[in-house]
Amino acid sequence: MSNVQNPMASHGLWLPPMQQQIFRDLLHVFSYPGRVAECTAESMTWLALLASLTDGEVSLADPHGLITADIWPKLEARPTTPDTATFILADGGRAMDFQPCTGSLESPETGATILLRVAALGEDSAGGFQLNLSGPGIQGHTELAVSGLHPSWLIARAGLVAAFPLGVDLLLCDEHRFAALPRTTRIETGEII
């Protein structure tokens, strides 16, 4: 019924004003790695993020089958395998089981952007661990708490981003929030919380 009262709420994420807002939040989290943004759209965070980023020009891989058949046409993206995809949506709770593209020396921007669905980010991350971050966009050091992230992702990421400018850029999202870990961010795994 809520959709009838406010038709923008569920369809908003496919409309330009909402996508602009989501993009500005994306710009903020990529500029300041470790900061957590609230998702303004009333939908799953990963879906709102993908809706504001994808169109027919990009390829998208969904190795863990998170995208339902009715969503695919709306995203417009070409389905592909994780090793060639521009965007990859994956379940961060499972061990990493694919090899993403890290770009080439001439075109490092072809390195994949991986959206990782995790249990919780920020203050709700009980049972998770603390990531100590440094690098561009961070004044000194900062911390990001995350739960429901399989440790294999961080180990694999360290290898994938070791040869800058090659690498992958991570976008962590829980139900309502998201945070970015660009390839330039140095991560040290901190204490368990």
Partner 1 sequence: MNIHYEFPLEEVGYSFGFLDEYAKKEVRRTILKAICIPGYQTPYASREMPMGRGFGTGGLQLTLALIGPDDTLKVIDQGSDDSVNAVNLRQFVQLTCPGVGVTEKLEEATLIQSRHRIPEVALTEAQVLVLQVPYPDPLVVVESSEARRKIMHAEADYSRLLVKLYEDIVHFDEITISHRYPTRINRHYVIDPSPIPRWDVPKLDQSPALILLGAGREKKIYAVPPYSVAEPLVFDDVPFRVEDFRDEHGQRRACARCGAINSFLDEYSDDNNAKIYQCSDSAYCDGQLAQHQQREVKG
Q: Is 108 in the site for partner 1 (CB under 8 A)?
A: yes
Q: Is 45 in the site for partner 1 (CB under 8 A)?
A: no
Measured CA to CA, the distance from residue 3 to residue 157 in angstroms comes to: 40
Smallest distance from partner 1 to CB 11, Å: 15
DSSP 26: H
Smallest distance from partner 1 to CB 126, Å: 29
Token digits of residue 184: 């330039």
Q: Is 125 in the site for partner 1 (CB under 8 A)?
A: no
Q: Are 161 and 168 in contact (CB under 8 A)?
A: yes
- 99: CB partners within 8 A, 6+ apart: 82, 83
- Segment lying near partner 1 (by CB under 8 A), choices 5-13, 40-48, 117-125, 182-190: 182-190
Site string for partner 1, 133-152 (x = CB under 8 A): ---xxxx-------------
Span 57-96, contacts to partner 1 by CB under 8 A: 57-58
Token digits of residue 3: 């959709």
- Segment lying near partner 1 (by CB under 8 A), choices 40-48, 99-107, 121-129, 143-151: 99-107
Q: Are 86 and 56 in contact (CB under 8 A)?
A: no
Q: Is 157 in the site for partner 1 (CB under 8 A)?
A: no
Measured CA to CA, the distance from residue 167 to residue 111 in angstroms comes to: 6
Q: 94-129 burial, b for 16+ CB within 10 Å, e for fewer?
A: eebebebbbbeeeeeeebbbbbbbbbbbbeebeebb
- Segment lying near partner 1 (by CB under 8 A), choices 19-27, 93-101, 115-123, 124-132: 19-27
- Segment lying near partner 1 (by CB under 8 A), choices 63-71, 119-127, 152-160, 181-189: 181-189
Residues that bind partner 1 (CB under 8 A): 16-17, 19-21, 23-24, 26-27, 30-32, 52-58, 105-109, 113, 136-139, 164-165, 167, 169, 182-184
